[in-house]
Amino acid sequence: MVDTTSLTRAVDHFADRLRAAPQSRLQRAGAAEALGLAREFARRAQLLEDPGAEPREMPDAGMFAAADQVTVAGHDLALLLTSDAEVEEAVRLVEEAQKRAGV
């Protein structure tokens, strides 16, 4: 079993930063970056769970739900990853999204 602690920590840190961010920052880039990451993680998780099915897109639940969406999608993906390389790539995606979000 692969250790996904680095991914869950990165996801939780990003989500915490989003929750602490002012509304203006969420409006500028934070919420959009979080939603984009959550959608990508949800897509990857769905493909791992059911490779033959068309992934469904995570809905936009609003800027104040973006942190929760990242958390749920990130933790779901962490349960399905099978290699250290997959974990490292997912952590990199979180770090890049957090940087673009400015939080």
Cβ-based neighbour number of residue 89 at 10 Å: 13
Check if the beta carbon of residue 42 is closer than 8 Å to that of residue 73.
yes
Count Cβ atoms within 10 A of the Cβ of residue 4 and give its class: 0-12 exposed, 13-18 middle, 19 or more buried: buried
Residue 27 in tokens: 């409006």
Q: What is the pLDDT of residue 63?
A: 95
pLDDT digits (tens, 9 = 90+) for 17-65: 999 999 999 999 999 999 999 999 999 999 999 999 999 999 999 999 9
The yes-or-no verdict on residue 1 having pLDDT over 90 is no
How far apart CA 100 and CA 79 sit, in angstroms, is 26
Q: How many residues does the chain have?
A: 103
At position 12, the amino acid (one-letter code) is D
Computed over every residue of the chain, the mean pLDDT equals 97
Contact 11/38 with Cβ under 8 angstroms?
A: no
Q: Alpha-carbon distance 18 to 37, whole Å?
A: 13
